[in-house]
Amino acid sequence: MTGFEMARRPRSNEGRLVFVYLNAAMTADGKLAPATRHFIPFTSARDQAHLLELRTTADAVMSGARTVDLSPVKLGPGGAKYRRARLRRGLTEYNLRVVVSGAGTLNPRAEIFKHRFSPIIILTTNRARPAQLKRLRALADEVKICGDRELDFHFALRWLREKWNVRRLLCEGGGEINGALFQAGLVDEIHLTLCPVIFGGEHAPTLADGAGFPSLSDAARLTLKSQKRIGDELFLVYRVHHRARPRIAGPHPSLLAP
């Protein structure tokens, strides 16, 4: 058993105490960005407002290291009208900001670190070397190790709930972190803006990258909750079905037979 596994306290409902919702803008060919991964704003002003409206419902907004490195995101609540909306909902004026960087490769010069309006939390793993951890600790309000090789999102969510009182976590991509959350079975809802653009490119990020699911029976299954067309964009909301999936293989059923 590794150091991380020994240190964590397993609980049966880890992670389920936090509502996790994704927001993404996607081209008609399913991409989040061009294959260069450079930041290109390709959505309407309405979609930008939608992103800020969704943030008014979140305790914390989370993104992966490459999204934070490659785009000028601050992950904050936006202007005064959005902050007032948060206060009306009983949330703090400024949301927490969470960045996932398993190997600690996050660029210290990323735009987010120049804006100190609310705590920044970095979730990492034991893959981050001591020098990287030191660098991250100088940048963030807290750096939490949540796994040995890959981030254990169940552990991370439980910790975010216990330490930072996060009940609603909005993940804003990119594809790798979204894919990991789907693999962990932790996504509750998806807000997707389908945009009238084709980027193409087999290496362009998609809504859910990483290993993926090998078959339809393993795939995340969705129900369309709502749809709205504004101009040539479609604003879609999906609920994600949760299945009780054993995470640790139990004994073969034949061994349980009397």
Ligand X SMILES: NC(=O)c1ccc[n+]([C@@H]2O[C@H](COP(=O)([O-])OP(=O)(O)OC[C@H]3O[C@@H](n4cnc5c(N)ncnc54)[C@H](OP(=O)(O)O)[C@@H]3O)[C@@H](O)[C@H]2O)c1
List of residues contacting ligand X (CB under 6 A): 24-25, 32-33, 37, 39, 63-67, 70-71, 100-106, 125, 150-151, 172-177, 180, 205, 209
Residue number with the smallest Cβ distance to ligand X: 174
Tell me whether residue 65 or residue 96 sits nearer to ligand X (CB atom). Answer: 65
- Name the phi and psi angles at 58, rounded to 5: -115, 140
149 contacts 175 by C-beta, under 8 angstroms: no
Which tokens hold the place of 229?
């067309």
Smallest gap from Cβ 135 to ligand X, in A, equals 12
Tell me whether residue 118 or residue 125 sits nearer to ligand X (CB atom). Answer: 125
What is the rounded distance in angstroms from the CA atom of residue 124 to the CA atom of residue 101? 5
What is the rounded distance in angstroms from the CA atom of residue 152 to the CA atom of residue 123? 10
How is residue 197 annotated by DSSP?
-
Upstream peptide bond of 174 is cis (omega within 30 degrees of 0): yes
Tell me whether residue 80 or residue 154 sits nearer to ligand X (CB atom). Answer: 154
Tell me whether residue 84 or residue 137 sits nearer to ligand X (CB atom). Answer: 137
Smallest gap from Cβ 27 to ligand X, in A, equals 8
Smallest gap from Cβ 23 to ligand X, in A, equals 7
Smallest gap from Cβ 101 to ligand X, in A, equals 4
What is the rounded distance in angstroms from the CA atom of residue 104 to the CA atom of residue 129? 8
